Chains A and B, each alone.
Chain A
Amino acid sequence: MSDTLLKVRDLKIGATIFPPGEKPRDIEIVHGVSFDLAPGKVLGLIGESGAGKSTIGLASMAYGRGGVKITGGEVWVNGRDILKGGHKDIRRLRGAEVTYVSQSAAASFNPAKKIMDQVVEAAVEQKKFSRKDAEARARVLFAKLGLPDPDNIGDRYPHQVSGGQLQRCMTALALCPEPDLVVFDEPTTALDVTTQIDVLMAIKEAIRDTGVAALYITHDLAVVAQVSDDIMVLRMGNTVEYGNVDQIINDPQEEYTKALVSVRSIEHEEKAPTPDPVLSVRNVTARYKGTQFDVLKNVNVDLYPGQTLAVVGESGSGKSTLARVITGLLPPREGEIEFAGRKLSPDLKGRSREDLRELQMIYQMADVAMNPRQTVGTIIGRPLEFYFGMRGAEKKKRIIELLDEIELGEKFIDRYPAELSGGQKQRVCIARSLAAKPKMIICDEVTSALDPLVADGILKLLLDLQKIEDVAYLFITHDLATVRAISDNIAVMYQGQVQRYGGKSKVLSPPFDDYTDLLLSSVPEMRLGWLEEVIANRKMESAGN
């Protein structure tokens, strides 16, 4: 074996795009990227969406997703240029020499087959091991990755294990054929923070113990700093900076890298509660129809006019259910909701048009929350017609005002959602909710699907709009950095209960209860050795593993 396992030279990757109303055309998405990876080393590829990092990772397996084609350059694996090989050579490479761990193990496991069948498939098919030996090896890997009941977990179906466990099974799947290189494509991004560190630690130890090399792809610099030897920063298909992990984190040379390394730039002074809350949730207990346990247990929170209440928690903590109860989609079993000094009907059907207007909502997925066949002007104009009866020039004037408020401007009025970027779509959704002149907006994970720098812009906009329109936000999120940036009050939710509640400064300062401590300490920090430190200091196990 040579001393470079993977050698990429001037890699160029193209794709055919189909812009609406135009002829399909070819574009280049990776413009000549080069790097080397030695056996047993880990290279982190980092960048925002569209940087080409996943595309480069898959190119090391000679694979292009959808219409993506490798158009130039060389990819050498174990001394062979894999782009020059035929179908058979490529098939012999995949699943044997190079394997892949995807972002969503839940989607990447076949729901119809047992976990064990899928974990050993590549090893057996590539004749690396007999079925029996491969299964024995898989059980060893399950144990090494910290999965419960490693001897029998393979007999389960993917839906029978949790998300964090499945992500470890996917790692076992990748390591089972004893590959030389594993491509990890955002393996912890879809997980809760407290689960993320467990999986991260498991992956790190597995890499160390098996001596396999890895490409670790992520948008989170703090995560990649924990596992990599080298880091390559990518932006729009170009290398921005390439160096060892210590240099990139502690001494970044390029402006873009510095922006990624620096912490959030938003500062927000906590406001004191006022006498009359705009929203009071009183002793709310709720369960879904046909189930036997309460998803919300005796929840009490207040939101004050013109302020932000952040509801933080992991998946399954009940934070989205709380939003459903407040909006009337799920009438509570007990308790009541007071809004703007009046009692709200528990059921959506019992609410007046005025109730609906004053309580708006913005969603995580901006693109599915808009009708793709309506223009931005129609989308924003609809609440103006519906609530205020505006028409013609008056309506158009107001739409333009709103477009200016969200910093897009008049030229966007005739565009369709498909022509907008993720951040622009979310801005249109914000304008649509503001058009109703609400007293309060529920923001459900509104920045979770966005890149960090874009998300920052959205949060800034929301804070500015709060000052102008005096609107209150109920901000549902799992991201503690967002909470720090924008909230006045915080409610930490855990298993359907409010674990900790109060002003931002009070909630985020010690002494902590065990769960809040776990949650806060699990947020990756941008320094080397953080992962080992936090694992050593933990007081309780994470819920999702």
Chain B
Amino acid sequence: MSPIVKLLAQRIALSLLLLLLISVVIFAGTIVLPGDVAQSILGQSATPEALANLRAELGVNDPPVQRYFAWLFGAMQGDLGTALTSGQDIADALSNRLWNTLFLAFWAAMVAVPLAIFLGLLAVRFKDRWPDKLISAVTLASISIPEFLIGYVLMYFVAVKLQWAPSVAMINDSMSLLDKLNSIALPVAVLTLVVLAHMMRMTRAAILNVMQSAYIETAELKGLNAFQVIYRHAFPNAVAPIVNVVMLNLAYLVVGVVVIEVVFVYPGMGQYLVDHVSKRDVPVVQACGLIFAAVYIGLNMIADIVAILSNPRLRHPK
């Protein structure tokens, strides 16, 4: 087996193992959490007998190991159980919301990633001069301000005062793509501002690191201009660290949009999770946790795979 295939197989196997371990942590974590579903469904005035009956019905009394495996095998077949509070099938309820979240994250990434890399390249080109400092200052400021504050400020000026975009990002299946995009314009803008700085600064740092190399001097001594040097010779060698930070931020876009979804009343995973945490609906929390973990691990796995593939020594062995 060629070394690259072996490395990739190892990486993927490791990711699956990690996901399995995370599932144990999620399950264990939700068990030790305080609170009682039966209590929260039936309310404070419920009799002890009613609570005991409901617990038995919900299967909360079975041994935890047995419950874990039942849950795990269900999840592997796409059955995430039913929500305790509403009796709804979780997989059904989630699929729609997951798509909404992915839709929002996708468009935020479409704006943020190219913009961050372009700004990073620009900052390298004008290193230590005013464009570099301006880019750094603005992106750092935007990452430092809490995202809900940016959300409300944008909502006030762009949606209320200027009326360029709706303040509430409601979407449904009957809307056209353009309508949907118009509707999510503000959350996309906020998310972009939040993730821009990381990716921009990593791009800048990775390329500047590569710019110290002797082959950059060779390129300069060939009479290439600054952008040719950066784009042709520095960027291909800086891909691995850049992809890494891009993937981390994409994971954040999917997993960390909880606050933004709540601010803009967007029908995504985040809002769904927050609702059910407050209701102590354990199966829903477990399902959301598992999906978030899968997204995180999956994106990081892709980053590692890209890093392996971008190494010419592995791609073209001797």
Question: Which residues of A pack against B, CB within 8 Å?
Answer: 61, 63, 65, 90-96, 99-100, 102, 104, 107-113, 118, 121-122, 125-126, 156-157, 159-160, 173
Contact = CB atoms under 8 A, between A and B. Distances in A.
A173 B217 CA distance: 14
B218 A63 contact: no
Contacts of B214: 102, 104, 107-108
Nearest to A106: B214
10 contacts: A94-B222, A94-B223, A95-B224, A102-B218, A104-B214, A107-B213, A108-B215, A109-B215, A126-B223, A159-B312
B26 to A, nearest CB: 37
Nearest to B215: A110
Contacts of B220: 63, 94
A397 B312 CA distance: 55
A157 B315 CA distance: 10
Interface string B119-151: 000000000000000000000000000000000
B236 interface: yes
B168 to A, nearest CB: 47
Contacts of A109: 215, 218
**When A and B form their complex, which 3 residue pairs have the shortest distance between CB atoms, in order from nearest?**
A95-B222, A95-B223, A94-B223
Contacts of A160: 316, 318
B222 A61 contact: no
Given A107-B213, A110-B236, A160-B318, A95 B312 contact: no
Nearest to B233: A110
B223 A92 contact: yes
A92 B221 CA distance: 10
Could you say which interface size class chain B belongs to? Answer: 20 to 34
A73 B130 CA distance: 32
Given A95-B223, A100-B221, A102-B217, A112 B318 contact: no
Contacts of B215: 107-111
A177 B27 CA distance: 66
A17 to B, nearest CB: 18
Given A61-B221, A94-B223, A111 B318 contact: no
A93 B221 CA distance: 9
Given A107-B213, A107-B214, A125 B223 contact: yes
Interface string B232-253: 1100110000000000000000
A94 B221 CA distance: 5
Interface string B68-80: 0000000000000
A111 B312 contact: yes
A159 B213 contact: no
A201 B215 CA distance: 25
A112 B316 contact: no
Given A112-B236, A157-B312, 20 more contacts: A63-B220, A94-B220, A94-B223, A95-B222, A95-B224, A99-B222, A100-B221, A102-B217, A107-B213, A108-B215, A110-B233, A112-B237, A112-B312, A113-B232, A113-B233, A118-B218, A122-B223, A125-B222, A126-B223, A156-B316
Contacts of A90: 223
Given A159-B313, A159-B318, A108 B223 contact: no
Interface of B: 213-215, 217-225, 228, 232-233, 236-237, 310, 312-313, 316, 318
A90 B228 CA distance: 16
Contacts of B228: 125
Contacts of A100: 218, 221
A111 B237 contact: yes
A97 to B, nearest CB: 9
A125 B224 contact: yes
A444 B237 CA distance: 32
Contacts of B224: 91, 95, 121-122, 125
A195 to B, nearest CB: 18
B221 A121 contact: no
Q: Which interface residue of A92, A104, A107, A156 has the most chain B CB atoms within 10 A?
A: A107
Given A109-B215, A109-B218, A96 B236 contact: no
A91 B228 CA distance: 12
B177 to A, nearest CB: 37
Contacts of A61: 221
A78 to B, nearest CB: 15
A109 B221 CA distance: 12
Q: Which interface residue of A99, A108, A160 has the most chain B CB atoms within 10 A?
A: A108
A92 B225 CA distance: 10
B223 A113 contact: no
Q: Which interface residue of B222, B236, B316 has the most chain A CB atoms within 10 A?
A: B222
A157 B317 CA distance: 9
Contact of A99 (B219, B221, B237): B221
Contact of B219 (A110, A111, A157): A110
Contacts of B225: 91
B261 to A, nearest CB: 40
A544 to B, nearest CB: 15
A159 B316 CA distance: 9
Contact of A93 (B219, B223, B232, B233): B223
Given A108-B215, A111-B312, A111-B313, A122 B237 contact: no
Contacts of B213: 107
A160 B318 CA distance: 5
B183 to A, nearest CB: 42
Q: Which interface residue of B218, B224, B233 has the most chain A CB atoms within 10 A?
A: B218
A94 B220 CA distance: 8
A63 B313 contact: no
A294 to B, nearest CB: 19
B3 to A, nearest CB: 10
A108 B217 contact: yes
Q: Which interface residue of B223, B224, B312, B313 has the most chain A CB atoms within 10 A?
A: B223
B79 to A, nearest CB: 43
B126 to A, nearest CB: 15
A101 to B, nearest CB: 10
A121 B312 contact: no
B239 to A, nearest CB: 8
